Amino acid sequence: MSDINNTTFGWVLFSGIVALGLTSLSGKYFHANSPEAPETPGYFIEGAEEGGGAAAEMTMAAALNMDGIDVSAGEKVFAKCTACHTINQGGANGIGPNLYGIMGKPVGGGVPGFAYSDALASKGGTWDWETMSAWLKSPRAFANGTKMSFAGLSKIEDRAAVALFMNENGSNLAVPEYVEAVAGAAEGEIDGAAEGPGGVEGGAVDAVEAAGAMGDEQPVAEGPPE
């Protein structure tokens, strides 16, 4: 009986030694203790860039010139403001100041006698199109500490429309023009590429010929309270 036990223990011990040896050999063969990058990597999975999926917001100038963005549309948006503001000439101040003629006036000081918050009063500047858009988007982000509790208008189309409505009531700021950027034409189809005298095949092209071969420049888009 002891011989059988000895034999069994012997095989178990032998199996353990073999397993340990195989583990050591496989570790050395596959560099388990010091992993290395392969000479020719397969492929890498790149993470998405932070914020890369969000589309850029259009400019205020583009929004002001969109079809359907007009004074009547702005009047509808302004209905959200009537709980705190009036906009008729000579209208009384409420929780917020009367907004008649506000466009073009100083930020935080356009209505004499109204108690503006220090955050807005110290902001500086005037209520132009871009400034009004930033204010309407998020009053607290524009002037941290403002007394205005309005959450803001997230859509630039709404901000453009209500700014047009306010501009119509006692103000007269010029609406910025917007020229849509022209995308580059396909290779070989760029406007003006064939203009000018051009060079002779096989001959050198001097500076005058090179200048004549250039086309006209493409139009570039212009960037558009309490």
Beta bridge partners of 126: 106
d(CA 76, CA 69): 11
Residues (pLDDT < 70) of the chain are 1-3, 5-16, 18-54, 181-224, 226
CA distances from 212 to 178, 195, 198, 208 (A): 30, 7, 7, 6
Could you give the angle at the alpha carbon of 84 between the alpha carbons of 166 and 103, nearest 5°?
Answer: 20
Other beta carbons within 10 angstroms of residue 40's beta carbon come to: 5
Model's pTM, two decimal places?
Answer: 0.59
Superfamily of domain 60-168: Cytochrome c-like domain (1.10.760.10)
At residue 220, the pLDDT reads 42
Q: 106: which strand partners?
A: 126
Domain ranges of the chain: 60-168
Asked if 173 and 165 count as a contact pair (C-beta separation under 8 A), the reply is: no
pLDDT score of 211: 43
Q: Residue 186: its pLDDT value, please? A: 44
Residue 26's pLDDT is: 57
Tell me what pLDDT residue 223 has.
Answer: 42
pLDDT at position 55 is 77
Q: What is the pLDDT of residue 11?
A: 64
